[in-house]
Structure 1
């Protein structure tokens, strides 16, 4: 029956009693693989051999055989009766159902108990699990698939240990790095920084270090989403020639990347650097930053015991955190309706706020009009000014090397206290390494140091340039917040409708307006 055409074996559900679901699975999909086509031909042949036809395909690509069929992305919904009617399953082999004896038997018994057909290529007819011979054969094929899976897992573990002991990476590169191979799909020859991804992560780190009170992983994740930067998973997919799925940046994953020691170019296993025979971390390549910067990020990102009160990144209007009411001095909100343009308005008296009891008439002004007025005033006043950025300077590197040596000594002490160097030979190695590190530390402490800290440097652009190049309203709002701009709006009956200014001095209320200082 090989060579059966699609028109003969593939057609919609018709209630004939042999409307089968084609099951295909592959752990790794590569450009050169022909497995999907071969599985398709085998499934069509097996379906035709029992007089059935394929109504749909449950294709689980990049899905391990160890995954329970009930939880597989494509097959799972069918087994949970979430996709519609079908009369059974047909697979190219038992191991396409799964590589676990229990999972295969559960799937087979589910088909039997529900009166559905179970077919696989290479087995004559439909599997009858009520027949001891068929049941034993099905179990043996599932057991063989499981034994093959265990052998693959053992080989992978052994290979991983050997590669790690040799100081070479295995698996996926961390965001900001890329693998260089001289032969496609060959061994990794070296690791290097990815030009664009490294700059993205360095920019995030510098923004957080420069303004930890107002910039957080949450606000940076929102900023990267607005800019359309590929999330790490999509970035990795594109690097390997696969399409991006449009996944967003998440604050937790961004924070973990900033705190990971892999960002310093180290080979990391289970969250910790791999140590070589000299007691130092294995370095794969130049890091995104050094130990001093890592410690600074760690101090900032791990020290927040109170909820972050930074900038909101989901406000789509320019002045929602900038404009205040001239009557009650509360922030203005935006009013929108289907039959009128959006307005900035003071609505707190209607909400029953005690400090706004006498706010009448409450001011309001069209969003487009006030935005245009504020933009013209801001660019006229500050547009020609040169922008100075605040960046973190790690110093002359001596402090970073001291931190590296101290971290290595601390690691050795922790391992010794855990009982890893109790054997006589190991104890002698520990003393030698610890002595070498202590001697290196004393020499470094005698060298002149330029301490790390925040410095300002010119960016080469003006305020008007940054305003013009801002990708969206939120980016422009952040510029206004950096300059601590406050716009006071008055009712239409007042002599002046609006007054721009800067938030400085004792009049500044950090609870209401945030603790921001101009960095320009």
Structure 2
């Protein structure tokens, strides 16, 4: 939108626009702009900038809005006041609107909205009352919208239909654009990413692949976060939000990954006490339990798993003098080096570390790479993958979870009436009988199994996306490096797992 520079005329206004929801058919931004321009012209002013907050609820405090907030907090530059197309575009909460209006007024600035003749004068009782009434009307409309949304959400839950945004790994299918969700299915791209993360974490035995290192890897590879992925799918610009370990853990361990309909993080139950399933799960109950165990905080872990991008900047590389971890140092302005900095960092046990060892990153990487490929490169790489088994144990685990949920509800005081008590006993007995029948069936338990990949360790090394992925291979083969100073008889000592103990991986 056209703007002019701030000139201190006293009518340099900030155009304020807001929408709770943006779609391809939305024309409100243009309508709001026309009304704002008309209101600005009516008082002889001009627009110096626009504070456009799209997809922002009217219940949001204007001072915290991404675009408008910095202006109100005097962080964005000089201006003479704000102008909106209506009071409800400033906000729909009466208290927030009045707080904003008084803050603007007390700072000597103007508050202008279309439909009101001239700027609002809060020293005038009539203007003050009118603004209060219009903001109250906006709040009443907000409450009506919220009530309608709650009723629609409750009706959707009872019918087993999703109401809010789709969960990462799943996608909504509509028979007509912008229509009601017909059904939910897997999103193949998001599912592939999430299942790969799950397999990597389950297969890891070194403690170097965690939810935090996976978040770092996904960010490094430029994989869109769930929020940005959803925005792009709906034709919007990504906001460059990042993956986090907490986010990945929730996606892996939530019951939503089983395809259940959730409300406030818990499954919505049907009339028989079972969770309502809206899609096939990304994995089964047993695999979810394994992910919960695998992503728990590990007791006794001395240091977090490495998340950097360097091949040897981890606790697998140590100083040959004092045994402290090798750090990244500056060899020259053009090149980095691996070196021991323990003595200069004041570590008492390293005061004898003279001269401290150091070697250029490229040189030590080359030495370790040649050693690793010569020792293990010809072996066939075998991956650990999750085997769901026959599925009977997963179904038993699911029934036990449903039964425990019923028991917890009964303990909390539900099902106390005579009618509910009979229903509770019937459903509890039915679940118990089904569990006993499943126990009689032949079963293959779920677990990890070795699967040949048809590629060699050398192929895996050369096809790795970065040194962080190659570092995972070093950890898998328990490779450790000691670096000695330049005058030592042995400059680099490298050790790794005995090949005789790696028959599965090198057959």
| TM-score where L is the length of structure 1 | 0.91
Alpha-carbon distance, 1:305 to partner: 4.4
Alpha-carbon distance, 1:325 to partner: 3.9
Query: Does 2:371 correspond to 1:391?
Result: no
In structure 2, distance between residues paired with 1:60 and 1:17: 25
Contact 1:319–1:477 (CA<8 Å) still a contact in 2?
Answer: no
Q: Deviations over 1:302-353 (max 9, x none)?
A: 3634557353112534365444444444443332144463333344455565
Q: Deviations over 1:387-416 (max 9, x none)?
A: 111122232111101111111111111111
**Structure 2 unaligned runs (5+)?**
none
Alignment of 1:355-504 (within 5 A): 356=350, 359-502=353-496
Query: Does 2:199 correspond to 1:214?
Result: no
| Alpha-carbon spacing, 1:301–1:344, altered in 2? closer, same or farther (3 Å) | closer
Contact 2:208–2:475 (CA<8 Å) still a contact in 1?
Answer: no
The residue number in structure 1 matching 2:262 is 268
The residue number in structure 2 matching 1:510 is none
Alpha-carbon distance, 1:134 to partner: 2.1
The residue number in structure 1 matching 2:227 is 233
Alpha-carbon distance, 1:158 to partner: 0.3
SS in 2 for 1:125: coil
**Structure 1 unaligned runs (5+)?**
1-5, 506-515
SS in 2 for 1:204: helix
The residue number in structure 1 matching 2:339 is 345
Contact 2:306–2:314 (CA<8 Å) still a contact in 1?
Answer: no
The residue number in structure 2 matching 1:31 is 24
The 10-residue stretch of structure 1 (243-252 or 264-273) with the greater mean CA deviation from structure 2: 243-252
SS in 1 for 2:335: strand
| Alpha-carbon spacing, 1:308–1:189, altered in 2? closer, same or farther (3 Å) | farther
Which of 77, 92, 100 is residue 93 of structure 2 equivalent to?
100
In structure 1, distance between residues paired with 2:57 and 2:344: 58
The CA RMSD over aligned residues, in Å, is 2.4
SS in 2 for 1:143: helix
| Alpha-carbon spacing, 1:351–1:99, altered in 2? closer, same or farther (3 Å) | closer
Contact 1:390–1:519 (CA<8 Å) still a contact in 2?
Answer: no
| Alpha-carbon spacing, 1:485–1:413, altered in 2? closer, same or farther (3 Å) | same
In structure 2, distance between residues paired with 1:232 and 1:467: 29
The residue number in structure 2 matching 1:512 is none
The residue number in structure 2 matching 1:162 is 155
Aligned residues between the structures = 503
The residue number in structure 1 matching 2:44 is 51
In structure 2, distance between residues paired with 1:349 and 1:80: 48
| Alpha-carbon spacing, 1:73–1:285, altered in 2? closer, same or farther (3 Å) | same
The 10-residue stretch of structure 1 (14-23 or 150-159) with the greater mean CA deviation from structure 2: 14-23
Query: Does 2:214 correspond to 1:189?
Result: no
| Alpha-carbon spacing, 1:334–1:303, altered in 2? closer, same or farther (3 Å) | closer
| Alpha-carbon spacing, 1:298–1:493, altered in 2? closer, same or farther (3 Å) | closer
